[in-house]
Copies of this chain bind each other. A is one copy, B any other.
C-alpha cells in the first residue's frame, strides 16, 4: 500500500456534471495503483460568484457569518455530486463536510485559518476501500459557525489534509503546470518539472495565480510534496517540493515574471523629508516598490520608486508637495522583470550576468532591486520580449 493521495479539483474542473463524471472515471482508474485517495473539491464553476450576487441582491454589505454559510454550500454540492458519480460507477465513495470532519478554524469569516482536522472518519472510510470526497474552502470556528478560508482556500484544505494524512498532494486546475514565465505572454515559455517552495512563493507574490500562497507555505512548513497539473489529462505537470528532494544540479533561475502594472516616479527631495514623504504615501494605501535613492548632496537626494498605475494621480499630489522645485518625473514606460531562483543564494554574480545580457541587447536598466532569491529590473516595455528570451537562453531555461 502506497501513500495516501490527496487530490484537489478547482471550480473550473468541476464546472459541469460532465466534468465531474470525467473526474470520477479517472479516479477509478487511479485507484488501481493508489488505493487510498482523498479528493478535495471547490464549488462548481461560477457558483461562488453567483452566491455573491445573490447576497448583493439582499444587501451591499452582507453579514460575514451568513455569507460564509451561503458560500460553504457550493462545495457541499460538488462533493455530493462527485461521490454520487463514483458510486454510480460502482466505486464506493463518501462525501464529508466541515462538520463531519470537525475542520477547526480560527480568525475571521471569509479568511479563516485551519487549526486542525479530525481525520478518523477519513481513515475509516479509506480502510473500507472508499474514495473520500471532502468539501474544500471551509471549516468551523470555536462557536461551531461555518467559516471559509478565502478565495482559493480549497488548495489550503487539500494541503492541510495531506499534512494530517501524511500523504501526497495533487492540485488539478485549468493550467498544466508552472512555467518559467507566463505562457500566455510568452509562447515559447518552458514548463518546469519541479520548483522549490520558496521560488513558488516568490512567483506567487509576483502574480502567478496558479495556487493559493497559504497552501504553498503550509506545504513548505510540513514538507508536503505538491503536484500541479491539468485535470483529466495525461500531460505532465510540475512538482513543488523541498530542496533536498530536488535534482542536485539546481538551475540558477527558476522563474521569470513580468509586470506592466506600474509607473516609476523620480524626484529630488530634502533629505530630512524622505521619511515623511514615504509615510504620507503609505497613508494613502499606495504600495511603493523598487525604491532607490542617491546619496545626499547639499542635503538634497534623488529618490525613485514605482507605484501601481492606478494610484498615479493620488501619488503625484502627495509627491509634488515634497519635490524640490515641484518637479516630478513620471516614467510610464516601465516593465518589471523579476527573476526568481534559489540558486542565486549560492551563485555569485547573477545580477551582473543579467545586466550584461541586457546591455548586450541594448536594454537600459531603469531601476533595480534584489532580494536573496530574486532580482527585479525595471526596463522599457518595448524590450520585454527580447529580455525574456535572452535571459531564458543564457540561463538555459
- At the interface with chain B, which of A64-72, A205-213, A330-338? A64-72
Q: Is A105 an interface residue (CB 8 A)?
A: no
Question: Which A77-112 residues have C-beta < 8 A from chain B?
Answer: 77, 79-81, 83-85, 87-88, 94-95, 97, 99-100
Contact B80–A97 (Cβ < 8 Å) = no
Q: Is A223 an interface residue (CB 8 A)?
A: no
Contact A79–B69 (Cβ < 8 Å) = yes
A20 to chain B: which residues have CB within 8 Å? Answer: 58
Which interface class (under 10, 10 to 19, 20 to 34, 35 or more) fits A?
35 or more
Q: Is A272 an interface residue (CB 8 A)?
A: no
Cα–Cα, bound, A145→B66 (Å): 22
A44 CB to closest chain B CB, in angstroms?
A: 9
A285 to chain B: which residues have CB within 8 Å? Answer: none
- Chain B residue nearest to A79 (CB atoms) is B69
Contact A77–B73 (Cβ < 8 Å) = yes
Which of B21, B51, B58, B59 is within 8 Å of A58, CB to CB? B21
Q: Is A63 an interface residue (CB 8 A)?
A: yes
Cα–Cα, bound, A80→B67 (Å): 7
Cα–Cα, bound, A62→B82 (Å): 11
Number of copies of chain A assembled together: 2
Which of B72, B97, B145 is within 8 Å of A69, CB to CB? B97
A59 to chain B: which residues have CB within 8 Å? Answer: 84-85, 87-88
Contact B144–A100 (Cβ < 8 Å) = yes
Cα–Cα, bound, A84→B66 (Å): 6
Q: Is A61 an interface residue (CB 8 A)?
A: yes
Q: Is A55 an interface residue (CB 8 A)?
A: yes
A145 to chain B: which residues have CB within 8 Å? Answer: 100
Q: Is A253 an interface residue (CB 8 A)?
A: no
A115 CB to closest chain B CB, in angstroms?
A: 18
Cα–Cα, bound, A72→B20 (Å): 20
Cα–Cα, bound, A62→B88 (Å): 7
Known contacts A21-B58, A76-B76, A100-B144, then 5 further A-B pairs from the complex at CB < 8 Å, ordered by chain A residue: A17-B54, A59-B85, A62-B88, A65-B94, A70-B81
Cβ contacts A to B, 11 pairs, < 8 Å = A54-B77, A58-B85, A58-B88, A62-B84, A63-B84, A66-B81, A67-B80, A67-B84, A69-B95, A70-B84, A76-B76
9 residue pairs, one from A and one from B, having the closest CB atoms = A59-B88, A17-B57, A69-B80, A73-B73, A70-B80, A99-B99, A66-B84, A66-B80, A63-B87
